[in-house]
Structure 1
Amino acid sequence: MTSLRTRLPTVGPGEHRTRLTGVLAAAAALAVSVLGLAGLTLAVVVVQTLDPDGGLPLTASARVAGQLWLLGQGAELQLSSGPVRLAPLAVTAGIAWGLSRAAGSVVSLRQSGTARGAAAVLAVVVAVHVALSAGLVLLVDASDASIALPRAVLGAGVVALVAGGLGVLRDSGLGAELVDRFPGPGRVVLRAVAAGTLALAACCTAVVAVALVHDVAGLARVITGLGGAGAGAAGQVGLSLLLLPNAVAAVMGLAAGPGFLVGAGTFVSTSGVTLGSVPALPLLAALPDTQAVPLLAFLSQALPALAGLVAGAVLGRRLGDDDGGTVIAALWGLVAGLGVGICAGLWVLVAGGRLGDAALAEVGAPALATGLAIAAQAALAAAVAAAVSRWRSRG
């Protein structure tokens, strides 16, 4: 007689392990959204406490935080003045970092070193994050500030897929295996591209800081001209910090040559400046005060070449003994410089957007023109720097 126990389906240790991995991945993705939204809500609440009239209630503050969270992932907020489609890249970077760490930590903890196991973790993280974003749209949607569900879901999926995928590739070891399959010093080139891009971003941030310091009086007028409300001033300063990476992207467009737009009436480039009305945002105090092209704009034209020099120097120093001489280093320097241009172009692409239908319908720099210009300048500089650095390293 066959026992009842032998007839029941059994779950092997492999299936238990898979289920536990899925649960951990879902919990990690949930933690990213919960902690991120809690932090944004707390920041909004703290700002509202400075309002002498009491500010927004907790539910309204949470709604504002949720809208910022969705905007950071490419959602579109439909207001009475028109659509708002400008991602605060500081929020985007925070979400991407959290998802990358969440997916990578689960892969590392569960030792999911196979492509199938890593893909399963990534699929769970993406699915949970998209589902949470869809639910958040339904919660924060209002008659005076509606959010289109398809765009919000698509944006959340792209952010989760890219950020989670990078985390999975990094912590599972599959990324290193993938890079090693390509001919040449793939890891060294990627590090050079990262170094050049970060150097370009740091220099562009310095340009924004210098421009703000140069017009301290204008910055003070903007901050103090908000009706005397501390909540308004703190909120505008906080929003400026969230949009600082967007301003860095605008400076990339300025440094590359095409310039950038702040609506239909304001255009800044090295060939001319057109000024129009802009929002009372402290960050926009960095814009020129006159139609004359500032000296800082001319000096910024050296930044793409400087980024290429950094990329080339890193490349030349890290090449191995079997990676060739100065000529080969120069060729790989060209590749690294092109990579810097691609990264800059993508940065500018996600940093632009629109703030309504009227005068601010277009904000940002042209991504394609900026990326191509930076790639050309950085590639030439990186080739020279890589060759010289390689020659010096070989004695």
Structure 2
Amino acid sequence: MTSLLARLPTLAPGAPGERRGPAAGWLAAATTLAVSVVGLLGLGLALVVVQTLDPDGGLPVGSSARLAGQLWLLAQGGELELPSGPLRLAPLLLTAGVAWGLSRAAGSVVALRELSGPGPLARVLAVVVVLHTAATAALALAVSTPGASVALLRSVLGALVLAVLAGGLGAVRESGAGAGLADRFPGPGRALVRAAVAGTLALAACCTAVVSVALVDDVDGAGRLVSGLGGASAGAAGLVGLSVLLLPNAAAAVMGLAAGPGFLVGAGTFVSTGGVTLGSVPALPLMAALPDTQAVPLLAFLAQALPVVAGLVAGLVLGRRLGDADGGALTAGLWGVVAGVGVGVLCGLWVLVAGGRLGDAGLAEVGAPALATGLSIAAQAGIAAAPAAAVSRWRSRR
């Protein structure tokens, strides 16, 4: 986006005294609105295409657009009040897309105008936050219906928090202030952040692989769920697409399984390494990854090693990122414990936003316990990261 804007004659930096393009505030407003418009159009178009697969005609265009808006709100922490109870489960893949768009909206303006300093960055961020929050509030009012009313306050607060975090991250990163901010913390701040993020992403990738293996192992079950809804019909295609959007949520559930506490899919289904309880679950193809019997599957036992793998990755990255003034192997081992704790904090936050509820009755709670999962991963990753960081640091100094 930044390179595209830089090619426009009215936006390119000019010589001193020349009239430059639109002010940073107007650019921030345009890019922020573009995130919602492009995102909603793309999501709505996908739903319209899915509905055309229905031999009975599927939903009309207006209903598809309303459903796209409701998914957009759910992705930002919104809630729908349905006849079966409140629906509050954010499809995190869509959430990540919204966050990336807001980050680029703020970051592209900062990079294009070469802004720096707290004042200009705060003004750009304020425009992004206010405009995105207002657009979300208007969308919530537009898509709310008697059968699926939108919790306005929750939707607005979710959009506000997401815009502040994503937009602030984009602005700070593009301005170069992030490195200076990290250096203000005691110790190797930048190396610790990168190590914690690397360990978290490694754990998320491994958990996603566990979900994929479980789905492949029961591909017949997933096929039955799809064929039971009409094969290539709108219902089947829509639920497959929803399962894809919920893959990060499934990875968060596996984090709970790997850490020890396990995860819930309603009151009747609980999966952990200590036992499995099966109950009624939604007819999503993604649910085919659940165990078929009360016996704990071998894959669940193997998944217990994943927090250690995350700690090893964090330690290796930390040892290689430490500078000459950051001490030797012993110091790196101590900082490795901190990096492992950081992995636990990030994973706990991931699990927290991945959970939710699908109604009032048996599906009132979905996901893994965030606090217990985060503490367990922090302990295991911290223990594994310490020797990995020490060895990596020792090898890098040879």
TM-score (normalizing by structure 1):
0.95
Matches within 5 A, 1:288-303: 288-303=291-306
Corresponding residue for residue 78 of structure 1:
81
Q: How many residues align?
A: 382
Letter in 1 for 2:149: S
Corresponding residue for residue 367 of structure 1:
370
User: What are the superposed Cα offsets for residues 141-179 of structure 1, whole Å, 9 maximum, x if unpaired?
Assistant: 111000011111001000000100110110011111111
Counterpart-to-counterpart distance in 2, 1:226 and 1:359: 22
User: What are the superposed Cα offsets for residues 309-338 of structure 1, whole Å, 9 maximum, x if unpaired?
Assistant: 000011112212221111100011011100
Residue of 377, 389, 395 corresponding to 1:392: 395
TM-score (normalizing by structure 2):
0.94
Unaligned stretches of 5+ residues in structure 2: 1-15
Letter in 2 for 1:244: L
Letter in 1 for 2:30: A
Counterpart-to-counterpart distance in 2, 1:326 and 1:108: 38
What is the deviation of 1:227? Answer: 3.9
What is the deviation of 1:392? Answer: 1.6
Counterpart-to-counterpart distance in 2, 1:391 and 1:20: 51
Counterpart-to-counterpart distance in 2, 1:182 and 1:265: 46
8 Å Cα contact 1:274-1:291 kept in structure 2: yes
RMSD (Å), alpha carbons: 1.4
Corresponding residue for residue 109 of structure 2:
106
Corresponding residue for residue 376 of structure 1:
379
Counterpart-to-counterpart distance in 2, 1:181 and 1:209: 41
Counterpart-to-counterpart distance in 1, 2:176 and 2:119: 13
Corresponding residue for residue 4 of structure 2:
none
Counterpart-to-counterpart distance in 1, 2:176 and 2:106: 13
Counterpart-to-counterpart distance in 2, 1:322 and 1:176: 17
User: What are the superposed Cα offsets for residues 228-254 of structure 1, whole Å, 9 maximum, x if unpaired?
Assistant: 552111011000001000000000000
Corresponding residue for residue 174 of structure 1:
177
User: What are the superposed Cα offsets for residues 329-360 of structure 1, whole Å, 9 maximum, x if unpaired?
Assistant: 00110111000000000000000000000110
What is the deviation of 1:183? Answer: 2.3
Matches within 5 A, 1:188-337: 188-228=191-231, 230-337=233-340
Letter in 1 for 2:238: G
Unaligned stretches of 5+ residues in structure 1: 1-12
Secondary structure of residue in 2 paired with 1:322: helix
Letter in 2 for 1:72: A
Measured at CA, do residues 324 and 30 of structure 1 come closer, stay the same or move farther in structure 2, by a change above 3 Å? same
Counterpart-to-counterpart distance in 1, 2:232 and 2:174: 47
Letter in 1 for 2:27: L
Q: Does 1:21 align with 2:24?
A: yes
Corresponding residue for residue 69 of structure 1:
72
User: What are the superposed Cα offsets for residues 249-279 of structure 1, whole Å, 9 maximum, x if unpaired?
Assistant: 0000000000000000000000000000111
Matches within 5 A, 1:93-172: 93-172=96-175
Identity %: 74
User: What are the superposed Cα offsets for residues 334-387 of structure 1, whole Å, 9 maximum, x if unpaired?
Assistant: 111000000000000000000000110000000000000000000010001001
Secondary structure of residue in 2 paired with 1:268: strand
Secondary structure of residue in 1 paired with 2:77: coil
Secondary structure of residue in 1 paired with 2:271: strand
Which structure has the bigger radius of gyration?
1
Measured at CA, do residues 80 and 279 of structure 1 come closer, stay the same or move farther in structure 2, by a change above 3 Å? same
Corresponding residue for residue 49 of structure 1:
52
